[in-house]
Amino acid sequence: MSTISSDEVARVAALARIALNQDEIERLAGELDVIANAVARVGEVATPDVPATSHPLPLANVMRPDEVTETLDVHEVMASAPQAEDGMFAVPQILGEDA
């Protein structure tokens, strides 16, 4: 049983201002119908006794704890930079804006 008709595909395409010929409309109606049926099958499996999940595997935070440590010396960092200006990295202008 088709749940998505060619008329619906044509109407949505017109709303989205997408030009489709009749062959494309028929093909998309069939493809969208397959997708709608697949979503309906998932809905049959998702019963109230099946808990909702956002990820199939349990996730754990793998980040290390924040700890205060020594920082890099600004002069050493700037000495290894290709180009520095006023204690900052100098990079080529890419957007064509006036400096």
Specify the number of domains making up the chain: 1
DSSP letters of 42-53? HHHH--TTSPP-
**Measured distance CA(87)–CA(14) in Å, rounded:** 56
Q: State if pTM tops 0.85.
A: no
Is 31 domain-assigned? yes
**SS3 of residue 21 by DSSP:** coil
**SS3 of residue 35 by DSSP:** helix
Predicted pLDDT of residue 58 = 79
- pLDDT tens digits, one per residue of 2-42: 589 999 999 999 999 999 999 999 999 999 999 999 988 88
- pLDDT tens digits, one per residue of 34-64: 999 998 888 787 778 877 777 778 778 888 8
Q: What percent of the chain has pLDDT over 90?
A: 41
> Averaged over 65-70, what is the pLDDT?
90
pLDDT band at 98 (very low <50, low <70, confident <90, very high): low
**Measured distance CA(74)–CA(56) in Å, rounded:** 45
Is 90 domain-assigned? no
Is 20 domain-assigned? yes
Is 51 domain-assigned? no
49: exposed, middle or buried (Cβ count in 10 Å: 0-12, 13-18, 19+):
exposed
Is 61 domain-assigned? no
Is 82 domain-assigned? no
- Which residue segment(s) compose the domain that 21 sits in? 6-45
